[in-house]
């Protein structure tokens, strides 16, 4: 059984003080929820402070991006070596990174390789834009993004078993047209696309990894609609944006995920 996974992506929100206050508001309740892997992804400037606050709890820490080189003359960038002392997870390939900052498929691939090589767990984001969705190109786009992101990555080359690769890598399906718009995909749409992602992974690696891999939905997820997604066995959790900035909302999403997934085991 795949362990459900819920991550909060705070994006470019919260000062260090605000981030600390938000963690204080939600940590005790999050820590009590069992059966779900819980991850907070604050801005870089808050990683040290939040790392200390989460110490000894069941809530884990992630970063929102990283560069693929470990060190060098890359002004303003953050390397995997810098992150791995602070957090376990890193979001890669988010549509905002692809769209605003030029993270093309080849760059995402380099970042995924660098994360795995440096013992960080990538949360790989894939998803189509509205015009691609309306043109019936969802599977074409998803196939290209997943295939490109995992290109050249072999479990044996990483000294990992299939189980370890499936545990270390998370994929998040985030249709671009649903991110921050309030317009979420339907549960059926999300589940069908996530099953397609599993089929793509099975072709790249094997069926075992594809079935063990955790795949999330992201895009206007709230406590009011999380049940629609989590009730589908194909969907293993959520990458939550705006709702993760509200303590009660995020706790509600995590609690419902734990309850529903326990019920449908």
CA-CA distances (angstroms) from residue 189 to 65, 112, 124, 139? 27, 26, 19, 12
- Catalytic one of 37, 96, 128, 174: 174
Q: CA-to-CA distance for 213 and 107, rounded, in angstroms? A: 22
User: Residues 89, 39: contact at Cβ < 8 Å?
Assistant: yes
**Residue 26 half-sphere exposure toward CB, CA atoms < 13 A:** 27
Q: How far apart are CA 51 and CA 105, in angstroms?
A: 30
Q: In this structure, what token pair is assigned to residue 90?
A: 């890193």
Task: Please tell me which residue in 94, 96, 249, 255 is annotated as part of the active site.
Answer: 94
Whose CA is closest to 219, among 195, 247, 190, 256? 190
Which among 258, 264, 265 is positioned nearest to 37, based on CA atoms? 258
94 is catalytic: yes
Residues across the chain: 265
Largest CA distance in the chain: 51
Q: What is the dihedral of CA 64, 67, 70, 63, to 10 degrees?
A: 0
Tokens 């040290």: give the residue: 48
Dihedral, CA of residue 153, residue 154, residue 158 and residue 160, to nearest 10: 130
| Residue 55 known to be catalytic | no
The catalytic residue positions are 94, 174
């Amino acid at each position: 059984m795949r362990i459900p996974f819920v991550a909060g992506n705070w994006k470019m929100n919260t000062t260090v003080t605000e981030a600390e206050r938000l963690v204080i508001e939600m940590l005790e309740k999050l820590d009590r929820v069992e059966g779900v892997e819980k991850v907070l992804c604050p801005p870089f400037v808050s990683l040290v402070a939040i790392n200390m606050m989460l110490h000894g709890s069941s809530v884990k820490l992630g970063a929102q991006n990283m560069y693929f080189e470990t060190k060098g003359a890359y002004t303003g960038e953050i390397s995997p070596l810098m992150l791995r002392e602070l957090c376990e997870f890193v979001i890669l390939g988010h549509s905002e990174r692809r769209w605003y900052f030029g993270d093309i498929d080849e760059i995402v691939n380099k970042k995924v390789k660098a994360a795995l090589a440096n013992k960080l767990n990538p949360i790989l984001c894939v998803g189509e834009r509205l015009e691609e969705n309306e043109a019936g190109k969802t599977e074409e786009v998803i196939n290209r993004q997943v295939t490109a992101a995992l290109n050249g990555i072999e479990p044996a080359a990483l000294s990992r078993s299939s189980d370890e690769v499936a545990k270390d890598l998370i994929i998040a399906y985030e249709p671009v047209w649903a991110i921050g718009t309030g317009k979420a995909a339907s549960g059926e749409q999300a589940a069908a696309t996530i099953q397609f992602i599993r089929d793509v992974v099975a072709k790249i690696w094997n069926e075992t990894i594809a079935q063990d891999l955790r795949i999330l939905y992201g895009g206007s997820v709230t406590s009011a609609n999380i049940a629609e997604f989590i009730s589908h066995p194909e969907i293993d959790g959520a990458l939550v944006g705006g709702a993760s900035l509200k303590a009660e909302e995020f706790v509600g999403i995590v609690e419902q995920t734990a309850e529903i997934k326990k019920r449908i085991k």
